């Protein structure tokens, strides 16, 4: 078996044109990304694909809000599961078609994934993650009374529901995902950070929360022993002094350098911060290296032509040349 990469695709990256957010437009974007993933598979990588779902959950909840007079609202954890299935379907179908075009004898499968969170996580006492559409104050207060929502006024733009974003603790289906990968499948999993569940009296129970998909992808990469964690985003490389005249794109960072830039405020919490933190967590748990790049440059980034690599120390340990993968001198090529 080849090396194993977890490739995290952002939910926002599936929507290129905010004027065209229908599912077929998203499917077209998924196809573009899957061409890149299929090329990685063709070149010898095993891949677990994760994805965001923020906009998609918002659309689903908005549909439910518009139908409130006739149909009940969709509980948030069910909306996460629904979008895992829908986006997973798009990714696995697109990958299967690419495999057929390239003559790759592999199959893709989607695992609806649950992720355990701590019911005592402080996030449950301080919900901050906005979901759904803007509302009037009257609508918001009605939902607060009747549906138990936490609602806040959002910078003069209206009122919104906010939910907790607790830390992921455990991938419930981690062993099954690893078994599928070892059996040769390309697995789509942990969509939207996973369906958040808590353990009560030894049983799992869904909760109304959202998990950061980059943190969940980091946890997954550790759980399945991935050699590389790739996080795709809207830019080719990570930059310091972003948006300023002195902006500088970075090709390679040690974990210590990344931590230093993070503490200095170069990677904001609502933007690049969680992606860098996710990779640092993965490296701190024994991971080899992380890579941040845009969805359309996955292969170029693996070739060192794009993206920002973050390594525990020294030089990258995983790279490839031509049509085969190899390690840097002095490192082992064995994964299993």
Give the pLDDT band of residue 143 (cuts 50, 70, 90): confident
How far apart are alpha carbons 295 and 50 in whole angstroms? 12
**Stronger pLDDT, 26 or 211, i.e. the higher one:** 211
The answer to whether residue 330 scores a pLDDT higher than 70 is no
Residues noted as catalytic? 11-12, 129, 213, 275
How far apart are alpha carbons 181 and 175 in whole angstroms? 10
The answer to whether residue 322 scores a pLDDT higher than 60 is no
> Considering the chain, what percentage of its residues have pLDDT values greater than 90?
65
How far apart are alpha carbons 214 and 161 in whole angstroms? 22
Per-chain mean pLDDT for the chain? 87
How far apart are alpha carbons 144 and 328 in whole angstroms? 57
Question: If you average pLDDT over residues 5-11, what whole number do you get?
Answer: 89
Question: If you average pLDDT over residues 23-36, what whole number do you get?
Answer: 84
Question: If you average pLDDT over residues 88-116, what whole number do you get?
Answer: 96
Give the pLDDT band of residue 1 (cuts 50, 70, 90): low
Give the pLDDT band of residue 2 (cuts 50, 70, 90): confident
How far apart are alpha carbons 251 and 289 in whole angstroms? 13
Question: If you average pLDDT over residues 211-227, what whole number do you get?
Answer: 96
Residue 30 token pair: 């998924």
Model-level pTM?
0.86
pLDDT at 332: 31
pLDDT at 324: 25
The answer to whether residue 233 scores a pLDDT higher than 60 is yes
Lowest-confidence range among 54-63, 201-210, 226-235, 268-277?
A: 54-63
Q: What CATH number has the domain spanning 4-117+168-327?
A: 3.40.1160.10
How far apart are alpha carbons 222 and 218 in whole angstroms? 6
Domain boundaries, the chain: 4-117+168-327, 127-163
The answer to whether residue 189 scores a pLDDT higher than 70 is yes
CA distances from 180 to 185, 193, 272, 314 (A): 6, 19, 31, 33
Lowest-confidence range among 58-62, 140-144, 273-277, 309-313?
A: 58-62
pLDDT at 66: 82
pLDDT at 25: 78
Neighbours of 49 (CB within 10 A): 27
> Considering the chain, what percentage of its residues have pLDDT values greater than 70?
89
Tokens 């402080």 — which residue? Answer: 122
């Amino acid at each position: 078996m080849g090396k194993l990469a977890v490739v995290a695709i952002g939910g926002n990256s599936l929507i290129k044109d905010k004027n065209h957010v229908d599912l077929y437009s998203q499917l077209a974007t998924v196809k573009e990304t899957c061409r890149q993933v299929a090329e990685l598979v063709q070149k010898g990588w095993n891949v677990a694909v994760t994805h965001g779902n923020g906009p998609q959950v918002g659309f689903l909840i908005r549909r439910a809000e518009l139908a409130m007079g006739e149909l009940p609202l969709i509980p948030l954890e069910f909306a996460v599961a629904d979008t895992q299935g829908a986006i997973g379907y798009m990714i696995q179908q697109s990958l299967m078609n690419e495999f057929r075009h390239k003559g790759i004898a592999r199959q893709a499968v989607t695992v609806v994934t649950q992720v355990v969170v701590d019911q005592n996580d402080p996030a449950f006492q301080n919900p901050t993650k906005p979901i759904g559409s803007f509302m009037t104050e009257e609508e918001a207060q009605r939902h607060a009374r009747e549906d138990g929502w936490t609602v806040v006024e959002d910078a003069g733009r209206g009122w919104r529901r906010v939910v907790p974003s607790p830390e992921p603790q455990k991938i419930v289906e981690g062993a099954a995902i690893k078994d599928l990968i070892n059996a040769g499948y390309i697995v789509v999993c942990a969509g939207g950070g996973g369906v958040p569940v808590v353990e009560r009296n030894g049983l799992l129970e869904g909760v109304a929360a959202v998990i950061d998909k980059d943190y969940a992808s980091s946890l997954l990469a550790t759980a399945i022993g991935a050699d590389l964690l790739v996080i795709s985003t809207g830019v080719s490389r990570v930059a310091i002094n972003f948006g300023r005249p002195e902006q500088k794109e970075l090709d390679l960072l040690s974990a210590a350098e990344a931590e230093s830039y993070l503490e200095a405020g170069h990677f904001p919490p609502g933007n690049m911060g969680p992606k860098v933190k996710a990779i640092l967590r993965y490296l701190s748990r024994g991971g080899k290296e992380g890579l941040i790049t845009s969805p359309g440059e996955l292969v170029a980034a693996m070739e060192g032509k794009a993206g920002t690599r973050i390594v525990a120390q020294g030089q990258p340990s995983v790279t490839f040349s031509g049509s085969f993968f190899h390690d840097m001198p002095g490192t082992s090529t064995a994964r299993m």
